[in-house]
Amino acid sequence: MKVLVINAGSSSVKYHLYNMPQVEVLAHGVVERIGEERSELSHFFNGKTHTVKKKVGDVGKAMELILETLDDRDVGVIQDFSEIGAVGHRVVHGGEEFTYSVNIDEKVIAYIEKFADLAPLHNPPNLAGIRAVQRRLPDAKQVACFDTAFHATIPKVAYMYALPYELYEKYGIRRYGFHGISHRYVARRAASIMGRGKYNINAVTCHLGNGCSITAVKQGRSIDTSMGFTPLEGVPMGTRSGDLDPSILFYLGDKGYDVKALKELCNKKSGLLGISGVSNDVRNLVELAGQGNSRAQLAIDIFCYRIKKYIGTYCAVLDTVDAVVFTGGIGENAVFLRQQICTGLNQVGVRLDEETNKKVVAKEAEISTKDSRVKVFVIPANEQVAIANDTYELTRCEQPIVSE
């Protein structure tokens, strides 16, 4: 059975077509710069690359282009759309409603629409992808895998803000957490590498990409995570501030910043970019810091310091910790940052093998010393495989699988 995995954002749609249950990638690609004059599809199949440059107006059009390409006589990998038995979608916000991946029906769609209020940049393109599949592949089953679902097991003591309780009741203001598909995937991989069952691991998982979040996983389930009501909370990220004293925003409001400007400031102009003043990309910052750029160095230092604080906090929250896992573009590649983050964590039982760490780039490996009480792993993010597996499982049974 072929399963198509779709990750639709506001300006790009990524796709992977799998042969299941072998998890064999038949083709994958991305449509980028959606809505701009020069949109581009990059399609990878049978070791070859195919590129299409033309204006793609919206996510629906991007989906049409992807499906046409998959079915194309020359560059396609299917003969007929009927070969695609199911489509799995990454959906960012499932509110409190979805604690696992689900088969999509009109009721689920209504909830995704409702939660667009909480994720206005993400749920609408996710929905546009679902609608496009309904139009073009009416017989394919569709599955929604929520970024929030893995965090549904976080207890109330960790998800409530110390705000008036009515705000939770009236507006759903609470911590939801994100990157759940990734945290779940790497926690389960770590358990598997350690020869344990998926519910037999306590871990701190660090997803460090453009967005960054840290999760405390107890017995295979999320019990706390650094992102909150929105992905803005937690550690500093490429352009997001992470945790702040909210009074800073009131103070800036008094100085003339309006809500739009404050949103822009915290989401787009802060984090590594804001501190360094030059880049949100760790590769550039490491290079510039090496050339003596002190603000690039400061950005790296703050980033590592704040991640270390979260790891320490989560070690306190978990009774015992079996593993710390690094994933995401930074977690998988940035050797020196991993070292800096782990320095001083021996107190909690983490001992990095510095030589091994230096050799591990974009591959799965253990990077702790033999005698480290807490194992440290690098595990490449693979949300699409997690979605393909959930989709395949769900289309074979009517009951939703529990993915907490």
Task: Pick from 210, 267, 340, 369 the residue near ligand ADP by CB under 6 A.
Answer: 210
Going by C-alpha positions, the residue among 125, 41, 20 that lies closest to residue 83 is 20
* Annotated catalytic residue within 72, 105, 147, 322: 147
Nearest residue (CB) to ligand ADP, 126 versus 333: 333
Separation in Å, CA 250 to CA 16, 162, 253, 254, 258: 44, 18, 5, 6, 10
Torsion, Cα 265 222 144 42, to 10 degrees, reads: 60
Q: What number of chain residues touch ligand ADP (CB under 6 A)?
A: 12
| Chain Cα centroid distance, residue 215 | 12
Residue 147: active-site member: yes
DSSP code, position 40? E
Nearest approach, Cβ of residue 378 and ligand ADP (Å): 12
By CB under 6 A, residue 328 contacts ligand ADP: yes
Q: Which of residues 223-252 bind ligand ADP (CB under 6 A)?
A: 238
By CB under 6 A, residue 297 contacts ligand ADP: no
Nearest residue (CB) to ligand ADP, 301 versus 393: 301
The contact mask relative to ligand ADP for 3-22 (x = CB under 6 A, - = no) is --------------------
Separation in Å, CA 325 to CA 211, 216, 257: 16, 11, 39
Name the phi and psi angles at 7, rounded to 5.
-125, 95
The contact mask relative to ligand ADP for 274-293 (x = CB under 6 A, - = no) is -------xxx----------
Task: Pick from 76, 177, 211, 271 the residue near ligand ADP by CB under 6 A.
Answer: 211
By CB under 6 A, residue 33 contacts ligand ADP: no
Task: Pick from 334, 341, 350, 374 the residue near ligand ADP by CB under 6 A.
Answer: 334
For 5-44, give one letter per residue: b (16+ CB within 10 A) or e: bbbbbbebbbbbbbebeeeebbbbbbbbebeeeebbbebe
Separation in Å, CA 51 to CA 44, 56, 227: 9, 13, 36
By CB under 6 A, residue 312 contacts ligand ADP: no
Torsion, Cα 330 186 389 13, to 10 degrees, reads: -20
- What residue has token string 């604690």? 99
By CB under 6 A, residue 329 contacts ligand ADP: yes
Nearest approach, Cβ of residue 25 and ligand ADP (Å): 17
| Catalytically annotated residues | 147
Q: What are the residues binding ligand ADP (CB under 6 A)?
A: 209-211, 238, 281-283, 328-330, 333-334
